[in-house]
Structure 1
Amino acid sequence: MTNHFLKVLAIDHPIIQAPMAGGTTTTELVTAVSEAGGLGMIGAGYLNAESTRQQIQDVKKKTNKSFGINLFVPQSYQIDEEKIRKSEEAMHSFRRSSKVRVFKSYEQTKKDFHDQVAVIIEEKVAVCSFTFGIPSDRIIQSLKLAGIYTIGTATTVSEALAVEAAGMDAVVMQGSEAGGHRGNFLAGVEQSMIGLMALIPQTVDQVSIPVIAAGGIMDRRGIQAAKCLGAQAAQLGTAFLTCKESGANDLHKQAILEKHQEDKTTLTSAFSGKEARGIENNFIRDMRKVETELPAFPIQNTLTKSIRSAAAQKHDREAMSLWCGQNPNAAMPITVQELMHKLVDEA
């Protein structure tokens, strides 16, 4: 089954680079992973149609190997002025110290999403995955008619069954260990916090589409464990985030590489309004007291955007979103080629 899965995706190894949005998945990172026999993935969740097309074309110029792209399924949201006021009040000290203004326009429109889908079809990208839900039947069918392999993201068996019922070709199962945003969409984040080693076998027993394991996998042992439990491939995020080709801020990479065994990552909605796993810092700690009262994604994400940008410019990681999985101690500051060698060739 794994050999068939690899043949369908036109890749040599059951390794997928997680599509980390926000600038981490540079053209160099995506290209290097695909050139090494894995599946490089563009994280296009925060891009518009024009920048999506540009990066797709840039990757095509550097490789003729298979690569993919990920989109965020648009979230419905309501603008709650009282929650926005509480958020702005709670962030006052960070805004004052960084001398930034709060954004008043909110990202992630349905038009942007549909325009991105049209670009992906026009550019004939091999693989398209989705996070934060399931796109419409019309979108899924249009992608499949164009010969594009579709992948959903799930955190529970129920969500995996929904992905399969929607007609998607495969599903990424995101364990509780995963860094970055939770991909849950049928239930709350509490119900989504299932460890990967428990999540894979029960999902494999319930769905017939290929299962891709994600969450805390950093080395060859993790990939082999996931395959032993029935996964067809593994999707790695933090491991690729610290690679030299990654576009993650150097402070972000350094924070992961400096992690000590006794330190812990934490779940927070303070940065975006949606639960995500990252390295705890002052912003997370200060916002914890009002976390349940913050606006939902994407509003909170937009409200904190200028704070995060200013912090990065000032080399202050105490107000940056430092997304990271639960196994940062295995992260290394190496090239993609060196990492792929460790994942595939080292005995």
Structure 2
Amino acid sequence: MASVFNDLSPYPIVQAPMAGGVSGPELASAVCDAGGLGFLAAGYKTPEAMFQEIKQLRGLTRRPFGVNLFMPQPSVADAAAIEVYREQLAGEATWYETPLGDTGGTTDDAYDGKVAILLDDPVPVVSFTFGCPSRAVLDAFTEVGTLTVVTVTSSAEAGAAQRAGAHAVCVQGVEAGGHQGTHHDDPHVAGGVGLLTLIAQVREAVELPIIAAGGLMLGAQIAGVLAAGAVAAQLGTAFLVCPESGAHPLHKRAMTDPVFPGTELTRAFSGRPGRGLVNRFMREHGPYAPAAYPQIHYLTAGLRKAAAAAGDPQGMALWAGQGHRLARELPAAQLMETLAVELDAARASLAPGATS
């Protein structure tokens, strides 16, 4: 896919698909036109809303782009544990004057409907998170000329993606902001593997091209993962603060606010491990949140919206990677240019015969 990726975008830089309204047509088109591969996040959207965003993006750029889908989730949540967590959040509902959400929503994120649209009206790239599609689905995308990428967090998941017929894997290190893209959320498995180690493990396990993701913010870091064997680097937090990003202004400001000194993995907001800035909600509820995605996501959705409306970042899900302090509030095109210059300089310094 390295040569194919070069045909998709001049620079080996992918804008991560950040769900929840962050990665919309404006951000994706700006990245595409600046030489990267922009992505739309279809997660949490209806098939019709996804279709309309694709239509809008095509009106903004003629460059190739990608669309990311969430895989359906197995119904393994403990109903009793969810009710205990609901009781714990009762005070939050009172404080923000909003009811807790209904946890009986669908767990498939309208996956089949979105796949049908993307097969009927193909886009250049489709990526998948929270699992691996079947061989039949991946083969169908291959037949319509769409490149497929599966997000993985282990060499075993990468092996499953290769056997299913994916064209590439997005290797997500534990440093990454937002949800961990594990295929099977095991509450007994703590932490995760760092990106450089994970790249090495996946390279040993599969022959698929690797897109590296996890805490990457600078061109020198991109050069590092390329030297480690990746064909491209995927950046999310770096683009979150761009003016084209749909992230809430409070979320953007929090990236460099000393009130939020670091990040942690938590289930507090969605029931699935995700890395975000440590705030009051995470500290108070993270230790007690059950492994129940997307049920906890539905349960807390109203609270998070109410906190944002009240101007209170302490109640919001402030997803961010470990490199959030390096965020630069630049237009996406200018950030792409800066990353490209840094990447070229880093590559030159690593070239044989280079002197410092």
Partner Cα separation in structure 1 for residue 239 and residue 106 of structure 2: 26
Report what 2:95 is aligned to.
97
Q: Which residue is 1:343 aligned to?
A: 339
Map of 1:279 onto structure 2: 277
Any idea what the Cα deviations from partners look like across 1:58-83, whole Å, max 9, x if unmatched? 00011111000001101011464422
Q: Where do residues 287-302 of structure 1 align in structure 2 (5 Å cutoff)?
A: 287-291=285-289, 294=290, 296-302=292-298
Whole-angstrom CA distance in 2 between matches of 1:105 and 1:86: 13
1:214 pairs with 2:213 = yes
Aligned to 1:257: 256
1:322 counterpart letter in structure 2:
L
Q: Which residue of 2 aligns with 1:50?
A: 48
SS in 2 for 1:128: strand
Q: How does 1:50-89 map to 2 (within 5 A)?
A: 50-78=48-76, 80-89=78-87
Q: What percentage of residue pairs aligned between the two structures are identical?
A: 39
Q: Tell me the CA shift for residue 194 of structure 1.
A: 0.6
- 3-state DSSP class of the match of 1:315? coil
2:349 is matched with which residue?
none
Find the counterpart in structure 2 of residue 5 from structure 1: 5
Most deviating of 131-140 and 30-39? 131-140
Query: Is residue 70–residue 130 contact of structure 1 (8 Å, CA) maintained in 2?
Result: yes
Partner of residue 20, structure 2: 22
TM-score (norm 2): 0.92
Letter in 2 for 1:37: G
Q: Within 1, Cα distance between the matches of 2:207 and 2:152?
A: 15
- SS of the residue aligned with 1:70? strand
Whole-angstrom CA distance in 1 between matches of 2:336 and 2:79: 48
Indicate how the Cα distance of structure 1 residues 339 and 78 shifts in structure 2: closer, same or farther if over 3 A, else same. Answer: same
Q: Report how many residues are paired.
A: 342
Q: CA deviation at 1:25?
A: 0.5
Correspondence list, 1:29-40, <5 A: 29-40=27-38
State the 1:106 CA deviation.
Answer: 3.8
Q: Which amino acid aligns with 1:6?
A: N
Tell me by how many angstroms 1:4 deviates.
4.3
What corresponds to 1:138 in structure 2? 136
Q: Which 4+ stretches in 1 moved above 4 angstroms?
A: none
1:202 correspondence with 2:201:
yes
Q: 2:126 aligns with which of 116, 125, 128?
A: 128
Give ranges in structure 2 of 5+ residues lacking alignment.
Answer: 346-356
1:233 aligns with 232
1:112, CA displacement in angstroms? 1.4
Aligned with residue 330 of structure 2, among 320, 327, 334: 334
With over 3 angstroms needed to count, the CA separation of the structure-2 counterparts of 1:258 and 1:272, relative to structure 1, is same
Q: When the two structures are superposed, what TM-score results if normalisation uses the length of structure 1? A: 0.94
Question: What is the DSSP-based 3-state SS (H/G/I as helix, E as strand, rest coil) of the residue aligned with 2:212?
Answer: strand
Pair 274,186 (structure 1): closer, same or farther in 2 beyond 3 Å: closer
Q: 1:193-236 CA distances to partner (integer Å, 9 max, x unpaired)?
A: 11111111221232111001000110101100000000000000
Counterpart Cα distance in 1 of 2:253 and 2:156: 37
Give 2:216's aligned amino acid: I
Letter in 2 for 1:201: A
Q: Match of 1:300, as an amino acid?
A: I
Contact 2:68/2:129 (CA < 8 Å) preserved in 1?
yes
1:84 CA displacement? 2.7
Are the equivalent residues in 2 in contact too, given 1:46–1:108 (CA < 8 A)?
Answer: no
Once residues 279 and 192 of structure 1 are traced to their aligned partners in structure 2, the CA distance between those partners, rounded to angstroms, is 16
Code of the aligned partner of 1:172: C
User: Considering only aligned residues, what root-mean-square deviation do their CA atoms show, in Å?
Assistant: 1.8
Q: Partners in 2 of 1:3 and 1:111 — Cα distance? A: 33
